[in-house]
Chain A
Amino acid sequence: MHTDRLRPVLLPVAAVAVAVAIGAAIVLAAGASPVAAATAIWVAAFSGTDAIAATLEKATPLLFAGLAVIVGVRAGLFNIGAQGQLLVGAITSAYAGYRLAGLPPAVHLPLCLAIGILSGALPALLAGVLRATRGVHEVIVTIMLNTILVNLTDWLAGGPWMEQGQPVSRTPAIAGSARMARVAGLPVGFLLAVAMAFVVWFVLDRTTFGFRLATVGANRNAAHYAGISVAGATVAAMTLSGALAGLGGAVESLGIVGRFEPGFNAGLGFDGITIALLARVSPRAVIPAAVLIGALRASSTQLQARARLAPEIVDVVLAIALLLVAAPLILRWLLRLRPGSCRTEVQLTRGWGA
């Protein structure tokens, strides 16, 4: 019983450990000191309130994006569009944040968050409906939507919603009544993200709705035979996924950036795929996975300053960790593990023709 419970945790932890060991070797090969690198990460990511807050701030969008990907994967859907949905959530909440200035904070902030959620959900809903009614693969639709949404937000930020009287394409600053502050040194956005992780866990693992999604994800035909609406589950999972990504974008605008500026949210949605895989598609495991990557990202400045390490090293370590998690065979062979129970196996998405 003991080891069975540990097993799902063991693999990602071992993968990260091996990745860190390989990373240390790369650091040595690059002529730097792994000890200095570890010290830099510790100082930048965990020593003191500011460092911890910086780590959690970096972890927040990763958490939301990771949860968004997980909701899709549970239903057998691969939402590649988290990036686009996040961007739309970020820009619409920023727009509401400066345009509706004057509202009391108790109304303004929740309203901006809601607008971010809705506008992130919309493009995902479109992909879900196309999937459910026309059988168009959601991967293709969401990739295409990413391109459209990235360019749409660029255009809005440099055109109709651009801040006047200066040349940079960005929206005006969000009013104070819609800004998310830190509470007791902790970023509110992170607390919200952790709460969402538990909500998503509860919904997916403890409700009939979650069971329906998982059944559709495991076998669409069986789910249909059992009387579950496959179309309904598909649309619901995609919409929920987009809503989470949109909320992530809104939290980024309202809590960190203070406006929308193209380029400031680059790659966050795609990081969600990394996080979801690293967490082996478990909503609660996303929290430590996001904090880990957040810590590495937060220490990029100190890694350059103290250990003379190019910031790309962090991405190399992450990529190795992901490779080991996503291809458990390698790690199992390395560590001489026997094939695990079905809990450790994750079916990511069904094939193209299914």
Chain B
Amino acid sequence: MNIKIPDLALVVLVGASGSGKSTFARKHFKPTEVLSSDFCRGLVADDENDQSATKDAFEVLHYLADKRLALGRLTVIDATNVQPESRKPLVTLAKRRHCLCVAIVLNLPESVCHERNAARPDRNFGPHVVRNHTQSLRRSLRGLEREGFRYVFILNSLEQIEALTIEREPLWNNKKHEHGPFDIIGDVHGCFDELHTLLITLGYTIELSGGRYAVTPPAGRKALFVGDYVDRGPRTPDVLRLIMDMAADGHAICAPGNHDAKLLRKLSGKNVQITHGLEKTLEQMEPETPEFTQRVREFIDGLVSHYVLDDGKLVISHAGLKESMQGRSSGEVRSFAMYGETTGETDEFGLPVRYNWASDYRGSAMVVYGHTPVPEPQWLNNTINIDTGCVFGGKLTALRYPEREIVSVPAAQVYAEPVRPFLPDPSQIALSAQHQDDGMLEIEDVIGKRLIESTLAGNITIREENSIAALEVMSRFAADPRWLIYLPPTMSPCETSDAPDLLEHPAQAFAYYRNQGVERVVCEEKHMGSRAVVIICRDEETACKRFGVSESTLGACVTRTGRRFFDDAALERQFLERVRNAAGASGLWEELSTDWMALDCELMPWSAKARELVRRQYAAVGAAAQTGLADAVAALAGAAARLPEAEALLSQFQERQSMTTKYVEAYRRYCWPVASLDDFKLAPFHLLATEGAVHTGKEHVWHMDTLARLCRADERLLLATPYRVVDLTDEASVADGVAWWTELTGNGGEGMVVKPWDFIARSGRGLVQPAVKCRGHEYLRLIYGPEYTAPANIERLHSRRLNGKRSLALREFALGVEALERFVRREPLRRVHECVFGVLALESEPVDPRL
């Protein structure tokens, strides 16, 4: 005998002790698929026959079974399972995980079991045990289906058992082998004309001959329908005929809607209320033949609650489906798929309030559904509702998959009045469903240890202690997360110079890139200010529509930890207006066909944002040093006038005094008072992203030149960054690069940043540092201390380790780019926020802050 069982099921073996369940399980199932009560007894009590451990052993067994079913693994229970009360928890468990239950009963004569037990030294229980088992088993046989077992197989002899073969078959909802492309069509509700037009628009040809529709889809395509074919509309029978013919010819896959199910109940003679448009259907069915009615009954009856398609990447159903139910089968799944979930409350129109399952949806499969009319199809967390209320005078919508294109046909007229108006109030700019949902991020999406997928660097791990730190910083200081679509990565310095009196020099930066196989680099002047990310929109409406913010604003300017740069809202407004106007004047909106842009910048002066730090630390140290050393030099001069041996000490302290004077000069260069916006300077150096594009595919020279045009439009505020291209294979070009750095830093500049020609560069060893900084001799006093240049000091400072910093820079870079890409793809905010949060979390990793 060959039996078929679903490939996802809870298989319960039923048989007395000695009936050969374990042998049977070994023969037909993988060892990991079988959970045996004996084995669990051994796990908890070191003895497979210790009956006192039975309760604990079953707890373990149920726990394991639950985990396996939750993960979608077929599971076999190897226990006697002869009593209803021992089977009940298994059925409940399977139901909770929406898996079918299969019972395989080994119904052997008592004597066979006795014999087998007698042959085993560890089974020294009396004959009454097997007798009781057998009796309970026989009493159970007839009730198994009622207990909730969908399939029951009873094997009554050794021969039958021996000859049995088991075949696993996919569930009906499993259409993973169907790869499309598809045209997924929303709720039709008897609107035949619109359906006809829509199919034609989509490229289908439809011919009617002899009462049968012959449909030819465009090459390779197939239509998917999300249900509710009937009721309310003018031509339900024609719709059914067309869809049934398409399905019969293999051109359509149909999910059932709640209206279809109700019609089926009516046609099957059940007592249902003739409301919500069913009256129209029945009236239209009146002239049809009994054969047609019978065909409709069979068609609807054969529809499966939902379908999983394209290797699990696509799910369709009438009312959507949460992840834990996809590809599963239970009454609950069917009910969810057809009716959705309600909260138990009713709204002001007396309609049940639907629980917005899509808002919680985190699954990787795209879910396409209908059921609730919406004015426009709306993406929300990788789900989309394509019921655009055709029968209510809206339109009939198709989603082309995998293209994600929307194709709609307007309703010819209003066929029915909706109880709840579904068209929007035209006076308001409505936030999209995704933006509304994005307004509330969930803590589960950020805390704990996390693994973030990135295109550039694969999976990036965020450790729990780092997300703990990031949660605090993000919650207390960060700007509205809707503006945080990017945080910049940290940047490593070049390797330490081998010159005894220098820590950093371009030679090492050039050598690094040369070793990575990069032939050309771009050197950009490094500005000493504060890193700023500026998001700028063309107008307030763009801010609202694209970023989903409710307040009226043009964008945001945030620091590298996501904090608003300006505390003064009026100043921020002025700042954003200036940048916006510059973008307009430079023609970049049109050129890049965008209404917004994200810029990576340096905002000066340093003292504007870091004023407290400058006062508390940099100026304070200068004041202490100047005071203390001046007094020391004076005292030593007095001593040296009397004692020649004091002279060495005197000159040593004079040297120290001169170094601290240089230190004070160094920080003063980056400080100036800001009274108005004109005292600020914004130097953008990356044009990170605009609508539809992350500009990491463009080389740095494009960024520099494009942004230089932006800067020319407002030179009082914006500062174009000077740069040089260095050909690493050309000695002269390298020497020019070094000379430029020497000139910049000789004038007291911070130094320069060396970047590979391409924004994203790879070598054989993987991703290359996106940038390496070479800081100037004087500037480094602010980093390594006023007196770092003293020979005894610089010698010790020469040893520094860059590996940690470089690895961090790459991970943060990958996450930052990932955040932008997700934003540009219009993914849910939580997916963008996850990456930005990750950058912040990584920033809390301990690295030498001087690097």
A binds B: no
- Name A residues whose Cβ lies closer than 8 Å to a Cβ of B: none
Q: Which residues of B contact A (CB under 8 A)?
A: none
